[in-house]
Structure 1
Amino acid sequence: MMRLEVIAKASNAIGYPNANKDATPLVDASIRDNPNMYVSQDVLPSLIVLKSLPQGVERMCIRTWSAIRTGM
């Protein structure tokens, strides 16, 4: 997957971008030029990174979601 041709072929097959910037020119234009997949440099500063929640909160969220899914 680290070879440019391999990751580009995988991206083309699944229609999803990859993080290998050197492979970007090898990705189909319909994927490569889609601003929803490859965010432009002027948009990057406005994005935020979510921080991990404490383990207890994560457990509570998982248990709550599992209860909702199973109807309990």
Structure 2
Amino acid sequence: MPKRITVTRESNTGRNERFHDNFTGADMTRNQFVNQIKQGNYENYHVRNINGVPTPVSNPDKTRNNNLG
């Protein structure tokens, strides 16, 4: 099964900035994806505050192929 979200752009520091939903075809900025996660639309992801910036992360599990990046 393909992973739900693919990172399509990173900043110079490596922060994930743009995302693509492989199931719906939606392209999102980091802020849009954070808002979608907070609304409960992506149950396998959560938001972590990294250096003061809300950052989407995949929920930990045994599988590496569904991690963001």
Task: Give the TM-score of the pair, scaled to structure 2.
Answer: 0.28
Which structure: greater strand fraction?
2
Q: Which has the higher helix share?
A: 1
Larger radius of gyration: 1
Q: Which has the higher contact order (CA 8 A, sep 6+)?
A: 2
